[in-house]
Structures are given as structure tokens and as C-alpha cells.
Structure 1
């Protein structure tokens, strides 16, 4: 079907509404015979970018001692290396929406992969701190774009009944990438570990030749024939996609009648709720401490009393993957909001346990073994809780709540805030640990409590709604239906 078959030809004054939608007509998203294999393949290629994201983030923890020894880096220099990835990611976040809107979702992923390849090679050949930092910065820029485009791309290609679960694969592959970096980093040199970061990029660059572009983006830029082809590729050649196509094209038609949105326009009251939700979730995700704990987990376990921090890091790495899988399975069953609140409560408990262990460590009357068990258990409870909800759900909701014409700018702002928080937490973690190891976990735990309140009062439930239904809900009421 062509766009002219569905819409008024304004220039010629013709009306050709050839598609009639019956109330009982099944949508492509509800049909069971669709091309689920292509949806899964497309999602797999996209989440290779998420795996790359995790590889980049997880690189600094197992390599800290070796890099500092080989290149004679001070603690402050390594803190800069560990955190400069987030500065690159902030710049990537600022440009991510515009890049993804201009060259497409697939084009943005190609660009990201090339930046990551450049960065890893710079790290591998580094002899001095500045080249090491440059490589880390380039990988940061690449994953800054990945962090926006991957969840958006998945949300745009997935049927509504699978969207939550498939979008959660984004976070699952992030933790898989991080876990693999932790485990491999315990056995190989830091230069060899840098080379392993190239592999997901090659998978992405190859896989993008075999998957379709986002139908919603193709419709947005007026490539209607490719839009039709992409939608049939994703839903099945013989699947009736008329209703889904009409919904998408109707939203694009509305989009063309709306003004172009700039970042300052997000201050408008009509965009306030999605901006507050998206930004708020990212602030609470980061300021609950995840990137400080994740970037420097090896050193944290040593501070707690383990003779080798690598043992705790491997346990940290292993536990993330199955728990994130559980979160993915629950996403479209229990809903987004319950997962967020349970996750935040668990993170608060983990912070309380870890902070208490460091407090007891100062009192020599307590058994060192008991203190160590409490500290390690607290960190593992924290990462378990984070992986089941706060890791994945904010990204899923971010990809769902913005209207299509605001998604590029709004998503960029949300991702920018996420990476700004990541930089602040990762850069200050070592200094705050030196100030008060108990105090830092009290701060993180406090943000966990505020997260529960924020979700209960502000965040909507988006489970089971199409993107168009979510936008209709936003536009029809000044407040979301939280039921």
C-alpha cells in the first residue's frame, strides 16, 4: 500500500481512503503467524550494540591495577580514564536523536560501531595516558548513541505484546557485555581485553545488511515503499498489516502538522510530564550509585576485605545475567511500575547492608569474616535488585513515552542526563569512598528511597499499549492513567 492510498492528496484535492478498519479486525501485532523470526533477528543485531555498551563500561574494573602499573598512572589519572567514557557518551547523547533522525536508526548504529572500533584500537596501542583517554572517549561517544538508538529502534520494530520483553534485552545484553568483560579481564591482559571489544562492532556492521530499517522512521521521512516492505518483512509477507500501517501513518500525518521541536521547546507544559518521567528515572538510576559500584567493583571488594577483588567481581558478573533475564520475562507480565519499585527497594537494602559493613569494620570487636560477608552480600543484593528493574525499565519507558516528533530531542535530553549522572557518580566514587565508605552508601540508599516515591506518584504503567495508544493517553489528559 502506498501513502497516497491512505491519505488525502492535499495538492490535488483527492481523497482515497482505501483502507477501512473494522473494530474486530486483528492487528499485525496481535497475529500469531507473523514473522517473529525476523523481529528476533533484528533485535539481536541491535542489542549487539548493547553488548558493546556493556563491554565498554565493564572494561575499567578488572583492568584498574594492571593499567596503573603498566602506564604508571595515579589514582586521579585512572579516575579520569574510568569516567571520561561518560563525557564522550554525553556528547553522543546530545547528538544521538538528531543523528538517528537524520541518517536513520541503522545508520546511527553503523556510526556508533565505527567510533567504538576507533576507540578500542587507540586503547590497545596506548603508551601514554592521553591516548588511553582518547580511546576511552571515542568508545564513550559510540555508546552514547547506542544507548539512545537501540531501545528506540527495538520499540519501533517490536509488536506491542513483545515490546517490553524485547526492549529489556537491551539491558540484558549490557550486563552480558559487562559480565564478559569482568570475567575475561580476570584472565587476560588489558590490551587483549580491549581487542575483545571489537567483536560486537563487527557483528553489528555485518548484521545491519540483513535487517530492515525502522518502519516508523521510514514513514517519518516519507519513504513509503520501503516502509511497506519493512513492515511486511517484520510481520510476515502474508500478514495483514493494514491496521498497524494505518495507525503509524496516521501518527506520521499528525506529526507533519506539528512544529519542529527544539531542546528549549521541551520546557513547554505539554511536554512536561514525559520529560519529568524520563529525566527523573535516569537521575534516580544513576544517583543510586550503579556506575560507581560497577566501574570500581574490584577495588570495592578489596576495601571490604577480600584478598582478591576479582573473586567478588566474577560473582558480580555472573549474577547480573540470570536476574536480568528474569526481569525481561516479568516486564510484560507484572508491568513496569512494580518492577521499578521492587528494584529500588532492593537497591536500598543492598546499600544499607554494605554501608553497615564498612561502619562495623571500624569496630575491631566485630569479626572480619562477618563484616566481609555483609559487604559482599550487600553489593550482590544491590546488583541483583538493579538488574531486575532499574537497569532496564527506565530505558524501556524512555523509548515509549515521547511522541514521535519529540522522540529525537526528548530522547537526547534523557540520555544526556543519564550520562551526566554516570560521569558525576563514576568520577566522585573513589573520592567519596576516601571521605566515608559508610556515608557514600547512605547517600545512594537515600536516592533509592526517593525512587520508590517518584515511581509511585509520577511514573505511568505502559504495559500492553501500542506507542500510538500511549501518545493518545498523553494527549487526551493532563495526567497519565496510573492504573
Structure 2
């Protein structure tokens, strides 16, 4: 049967994926039986966790690109402003334009992921990222910087939606939280790499290095299966079952999961043509949409991007002479804390980690805010001035650590879990768009706010994190250990 421009038995149009799912794992029952007879030598290939983890490791190159883009502006600020003669305002635009590009990417991401598949979307997202870094590396003035940053942002916007959705759709329920956290872990690794390499390489060379994640991702996409849930939704039943089989292991009975996914897809398809904006008044639509949007907006309103983008500037204000080294240390702590979350999230649960994380962020920002207000009131020659600088660094470290334990990875995990399949493309685009819009506002305003009042800036961020605590307590559901179809049906 040809999947291009054809119909399945239900009369629905089916389309071939932009990237074919590959033939290396498409095995019929006879071949699968032969595989079983190979014994222990084939065990690692048949192991579900190994198959899924390898897929996640490949798509995780996208979030590494995301993180490298986010971290690039911190270690390069002094060199770029000096070489190209940029003002603080012009550099603020450079830092924030990746968020503007990401907003455009976010608008397109949901429909791209629905129409051409998760893998096809990641392929398309990689190309403007590569071009954007090349444009920055050869920039002669701010116009080239801005153009390159917008192109990078577009790719990052698509990646930020597509990767967590792909991971959620391929992971078994008992591993979905841990594997979903790999998305944010990869972002933090990308940020740390930008900080580390920024200590040793000129900003133009650093931009060339930024090409690497996506250049490795592109060929890697040809070796992993497409999301089985997307294939089922497109009516590609043979491809759907082949994809799910390799993800769960060749010796695993997938019949129950196949039937659950088919029932959920069939139910959503019958209602798909009737979905209108007026239908969003139904709880099964407005509640998960409200939770997904709320978490992604509050994630950025926490101020994390402003702090990470301009961490070197903040450390200088705190009196730390080796500000770039301190920034690298902050990035390393973020990686470690996010790594801990990948272990905790399927044990402690999403909701608990969100609340604990937000409480820690409020306490740390209160400390940093008070410290900077006190620093402004005493002389730099005072013996307490240095002690206050150390306290501010401790507060920032605690903030980044607690953010990484919950508010960093979990909003993306929950968004990818709770959105109903028949509105996931549109709703996911809206949630991702608003996330990047708030990120742009925070990034664009951070330098200006810090110039106005460092203590006041952290006080504003503290209030936003206090709102997150209330939101998580009142509205965020626990999704640990539940199947995607079970989670989405619970809102009806």
C-alpha cells in the first residue's frame, strides 16, 4: 500500500512522513521470531529502554542547540560590544532576538509537527540554526548579528515544542518523566558548553562551534523511528506498529498498547472536524490548555532567562572579579541539578517537584534582592560589602538549582502529556508561543531593569515565582506513571 496521497479503510487521508521511518527495524513476524532465536546476543537490541534511550539521545541534540543559543550571549557580551561598537540597548536586542525568532518558530511548530511529523520538523528546524550561526560568525555590524539570531531563534522555537512531544510519545509511562527531563538537561548542557567554550574561544569561533549539534542531529534523524502516535493519527498502521515494536522491544507484546492508541485516535478523529473555538469552553479542552499555558508562561516569568543571559553582568555587580568563571560554575550546577531531576521526577512526581522548586526560588530571590538593596546602601570599602557579594552568589546558585529541580523541565513534560491529541498542534503552538513571548520580554528588559535597580529586579522575579506556587497547588494535576491516553481522558 502506498502512503502518499492515499486513504485508509476509514476514508481518512494518510501522508507519508517527511523523513521515512527507515527500513532497518521494519520486521515481519517471521523475522521477529528469527530475532528471538538469536538469544542473549540480541538482548540489548530488543531491550525497550535501550531503544527509547538511543532515540532520546539523538533528538536531545536539538535542546543542546537550544541551550547553546541561550548561553552564547553571556560570555560574549564584552567582546562583541567592543568589536562591533554596540551599545547596551543594541546588545539587549541581540540577546532577545532569538526569542522573537522562537515566537515565529512556535507559531509554525504545532502545525509542522502535525503535518510532516516530529522528525521532519526537527530536520527543518536544524537548517536555519546552522545558517544563523554562520551569519553571526561573519557579522560585520549589528544587522548581521540580528539576522543570525532571528534564524537561530526560529529553529529553537520549533525544537522547543517538538522534542518534548516526541519524547512523551515514544516513552513508556514508567520512564516518561525521566526521559522527558532529558530535554531540559540537554538545554542546561548546551548553556554550560557555551559558558565553558566562551572562556577559550573568540566569539566568532564560538559561533562556528554552535553549528555542531544540528549538523550531527540531521543524519541522526534517519536512524530513529517516527512517533508511533503520530503515525497512527495519520492512518499509517503498518508503520505505526513497526515503530512501536522497535521502541518496546521485538520480543514484547504491544497489542494492548496498540489497541489503546487506536481507540484514542479513533475517538479524537470522530470529533476533530467539530472542534471550534467555542468547543474550548469544555473542561476537557480548556483545563489542560490553561495548565499547559500557565506553566510555560510562569516558567519564563520566573526571570531565569534574564539571569542566565546576563549572569556575567550580575556577578560583576555582586563584586565577583572572575565573573565568567563564576557563570561557568553556575551552568555546571544547573546541569547537575537537572540530572538529579531526571532521577526524581518519576519517583517524587511532577506536582511535588514543582511546588518545592518554586518555594526554593522564592526564598533565594528574596535573599538576593535584600542583599543588593543592602549593597546599595553601604560603602564599597565596608567589610560587609564582600560578605554581601558572596551571599548574592549563594542566592543565585540556589535559585538556578531549585529552578532546575522543577520549573525547568516539568512544564514541558506536563504540556506534552496533558494536551488532547486532536488539539495538540494548535494548543501546543499557542503555549510555546506565549512561553517565548514572555522569554523575550524578560530577556529584553533584564539589562535595563538591572541598570535601574538590581534588588528591584530580583524582587519582581520573586513575586512571579510566588504566583507559581499558588498555581501549582490549585491547578496542576499529577501525571506520574499514567498513560497519555489515560491522562487526557481524565479531563472529560
TM-score under structure 2 length normalisation: 0.89
Instruction: Indicate which of 198, 201, 205 corresponds to 1:185.
Output: 198
Instruction: Indicate which of 339, 360, 364 corresponds to 2:353.
Output: 339
| Consecutive unaligned residues in structure 2, runs of 5 or more | 1-7, 12-44
The question of whether the paired residues in 1 share the 8 Å contact of 2:46 and 2:246 is answered with no
Does residue 69 in structure 1 map to residue 69 in structure 2? no
The CA deviation at 1:434 is: 1.6
Instruction: Give the match for residue 400 of structure 1.
Output: 417
Task: Specify whether residues 10 and 358 from structure 1 end up closer, same or farther in structure 2 by C-alpha distance, changes over 3 A only.
Answer: closer
Give CA deviations for 1:78-134 in whole Å, capped at 9, x if unaligned.
000000000000010011000011110000000111110011111111111011110
Task: Specify whether residues 10 and 224 from structure 1 end up closer, same or farther in structure 2 by C-alpha distance, changes over 3 A only.
Answer: closer
The CA deviation at 1:355 is: 0.9
Give CA deviations for 1:323-346 in whole Å, capped at 9, x if unaligned.
101111110000001100111111
Instruction: Give the match for residue 326 of structure 2.
Output: 312
Instruction: Give the match for residue 29 of structure 2.
Output: none
- The residue correspondences of 1:214-253 to structure 2 (distance < 5 A) are 214-253=227-266
Does residue 163 in structure 1 map to residue 176 in structure 2? yes
Instruction: Indicate which of 200, 207, 210 corresponds to 1:197.
Output: 210
Instruction: Give the match for residue 489 of structure 2.
Output: 472
Give CA deviations for 1:169-190 in whole Å, capped at 9, x if unaligned.
0000000000110111111110
The question of whether the paired residues in 1 share the 8 Å contact of 2:353 and 2:405 is answered with yes
Cα distance in structure 2, aligned partners of 1:174 and 1:308: 24
Instruction: Give the match for residue 361 of structure 1.
Output: 375
Cα distance in structure 1, aligned partners of 2:409 and 2:274: 27
The question of whether the paired residues in 1 share the 8 Å contact of 2:46 and 2:250 is answered with no
Instruction: Give the match for residue 290 of structure 2.
Output: 276
Task: Specify whether residues 10 and 198 from structure 1 end up closer, same or farther in structure 2 by C-alpha distance, changes over 3 A only.
Answer: closer
Task: Specify whether residues 401 and 129 from structure 1 end up closer, same or farther in structure 2 by C-alpha distance, changes over 3 A only.
Answer: same
Does residue 375 in structure 1 map to residue 392 in structure 2? yes
The CA deviation at 1:265 is: 5.5
The question of whether the paired residues in 2 share the 8 Å contact of 1:50 and 1:146 is answered with yes
The question of whether the paired residues in 2 share the 8 Å contact of 1:155 and 1:167 is answered with yes
The question of whether the paired residues in 1 share the 8 Å contact of 2:118 and 2:162 is answered with yes
Report SS of the residue matched to 1:44: helix
The question of whether the paired residues in 2 share the 8 Å contact of 1:119 and 1:137 is answered with yes
Cα distance in structure 2, aligned partners of 1:322 and 1:88: 29
Does residue 149 in structure 1 map to residue 162 in structure 2? yes
The CA deviation at 1:366 is: 5.8
| Consecutive unaligned residues in structure 1, runs of 5 or more | 1-7, 12-31, 476-483
The CA deviation at 1:269 is: 3.3
- The residue correspondences of 1:10-29 to structure 2 (distance < 5 A) are none
The CA deviation at 1:447 is: 1.1
